[in-house]
Amino acid sequence: MDDVILETRDLTKYYGGIHALEGANFVLRKGEHVAVMGDNGAGKSTFVRQITGVERPTRGEIIFDGKSVSFAGPIEAREAGIETVFQSLALADDLNVPDNLFLGREKILFNLGPFSILDYKGMREATLEGLRKTAVKIPNIKNTIRHMSGGQRQCVAIARTATFHSKLTIMDEPTAALGVQETEQVENIIRNLKEQGEPLILVSHNMRQVFDLVDRIVVFRRGRIVANLRKDETDGQDVVAHITGAKTGAEYQNAA
């Protein structure tokens, strides 16, 4: 199974006595787009926080790109190749697009420690390349984030993942705060990632969006994975039944 990019075995997280995530076994193959669905508090965000290094799991193993990993923080996860678009976009409002894309990992002309000289030209070119790759349209990359719409901000955050040739992209509700046209733009970027064979985990509540975009749907309920459904073998009603607990996937009967 060397086409597996991410696998978790018995991934578990307790907050004190609360079992937020219990024995999650999850597999993502290269080039695959998977949606993570579930009600509020079902464990989706907890799951994402474990694999992006924001939190340390209580128990279990994460195997990323063939190696067992244990990230000390989100920066380590990013350096390993997991790029996350968080709900809070983590952009600096007063900086422009290349500055934000390269924040914390600036290209440098020559190294003088903290006073290293920035390679503005190199960063600008890499930014345009990243935007072209994701088909993101940002009219003027010299504009500061403050002067951009919500959709454009989201696009900048997504373009950041594409600029650095990440091995896995995770998006946490990328269109939750966007209007119709802006949502469409973000969905086009996701389709673009699919065409280029970039694996993706999409956390979303939007049933139409999930059926439009992904290959497989993993449903969380009360801290456990309760279903693993191929898109072409299921429908919206079926997924809702799993989310609400009316149904549980055959292989998960004894887990739930």
Residues that bind another protein (CB under 8 A): 74-75, 78, 86, 88-95, 99, 103-106, 108, 112, 114-118, 120, 128, 137-144, 146-147, 149, 151-152, 155, 179, 181-182, 185
User: Rounded to the nearest whole angstrom, what is the least distance from the CB of residue 236 to another protein in the complex?
Assistant: 27
Query: Counting Cβ atoms within 10 Å, is residue 21 exposed (0-12), middle (13-18) or buried (19+)?
Result: buried
H or E element at residue 77: helix 74-80
Please say which residue, 40 or 181, places its beta carbon nearer to another protein. Answer: 181
Please say which residue, 66 or 73, places its beta carbon nearer to another protein. Answer: 73
Token code pair at residue 42: 């079902």
Please say which residue, 1 or 72, places its beta carbon nearer to another protein. Answer: 72
Please say which residue, 61 or 184, places its beta carbon nearer to another protein. Answer: 184
User: Rounded to the nearest whole angstrom, what is the least distance from the CB of residue 245 to another protein in the complex?
Assistant: 35
User: Rounded to the nearest whole angstrom, what is the least distance from the CB of residue 149 to another protein in the complex?
Assistant: 6
Please say which residue, 54 or 241, places its beta carbon nearer to another protein. Answer: 54
User: Rounded to the nearest whole angstrom, what is the least distance from the CB of residue 256 to another protein in the complex?
Assistant: 34
3-state SS assignment for residue 211: helix
Token code pair at residue 7: 């696998």
Residue type for position 4: V
User: Rounded to the nearest whole angstrom, what is the least distance from the CB of residue 190 to another protein in the complex?
Assistant: 14
| Rounded (10°) CA dihedral 85, 86, 90, 95 | 30
User: Rounded to the nearest whole angstrom, what is the least distance from the CB of residue 3 to another protein in the complex?
Assistant: 30
d(CA 240, CA 246): 8
Give residues with Cβ within 8 angstroms of 90, minimum separation 6: 157
Cα–Cα separations (whole angstroms), residue 141 to 150, 158, 227? 15, 14, 42
Please say which residue, 129 or 235, places its beta carbon nearer to another protein. Answer: 129
Ramachandran assignment for 16, one of left (phi > 0), alpha (psi -120 to 50 degrees), beta (any other): left
CA 31 to chain centre: 14
